[in-house]
Amino acid sequence: MSRVGKKPISVPKGVEVSVQGSKILFKGAKEQKELETHGRVQIELKDSVLSFACIDSQAQSRAYWGTYRALANNIVIGLSQGFSKTLEINGVGYKASISGKNLEMALGFSHPVIYPIPAGIEMSVDKNTITIKGTDKQQVGQIAAEIREFRPPEPYKGKGIKYADEVIVRKAGKTSKK
């Protein structure tokens, strides 16, 4: 049985939840989101506590049970607190700035790398750190991965874009013959 699916979700103040058939509608201060379960799980909302139940004992049904509970929990957390990822830029001459609705980065290429900021995402740049904030956990993580992909950190000098909590395993350089 799913250990994740068993846990009920307590809905905080500021987030409204309503169930309409197989859809769950979430309403936050600024945004509305919905989660379509396609009738794969039973949904119950009592006293601002959202709980899920398995329809039958098949493995596929139990997998959906935990998945939909995790997706609903991520939506509730996103609407109440939000998600953020922090990236660090390391390297001589590597820098980033925000101009309009674009993130402009100088990463050692012959041209600046321009990344358009999607709707619903806030980005801020402070010295060598890029902070990405949003209500959708998947979208925030995907954008952070796409930005990191422009110049992943290399193992010899550690130059590139890395997550703030990422540890780069450094390699020793070449040694000369004596």
CA dihedral 55, 58, 62, 67 (to 10 degrees): -100
**What is the CATH number assigned to the segment(s) 4-81?**
3.90.930.12
Q: Which of the pair, 56 or 77, is modelled with greater confidence?
A: 77
Residue type, 44: E
Query: In the chain, where are the structural domains located?
Result: 4-81, 83-163
Tens digit of each residue's pLDDT (9 = 90 or more) over 145-159: 999 999 999 999 999
Closest CA to 88 of 20, 31, 161: 161
Strand partners of residue 99? 102
Q: Measured at the alpha carbon of residue 37, what is the angle toward residues 16 and 70, in degrees to the nearest 5?
A: 70
Where does the pLDDT of residue 58 fall: very low under 50, low under 70, confident under 90, or very high at 90 and above? confident
Same fold for the domain at 4-81 and the one at 83-163? Answer: yes
CA 79 to chain centre: 13
Determine the pLDDT at residue 80.
93
Claim: this prediction has a pTM higher than 0.85: yes
36-50, 56-70, 105-119: least confident range: 56-70
Residues with Cβ within 8 Å of 79's Cβ and at least 6 positions away in sequence, in order, are 14, 15, 26, 27, 28, 29, 31, 33, 135
Hey, which CATH number is domain 83-163, 3.30.460.80, 3.90.930.12, 3.30.590.10, 2.120.10.80?
3.90.930.12
Tens digits of per-residue pLDDT, 117-136?
A: 999 999 999 999 999 999 99
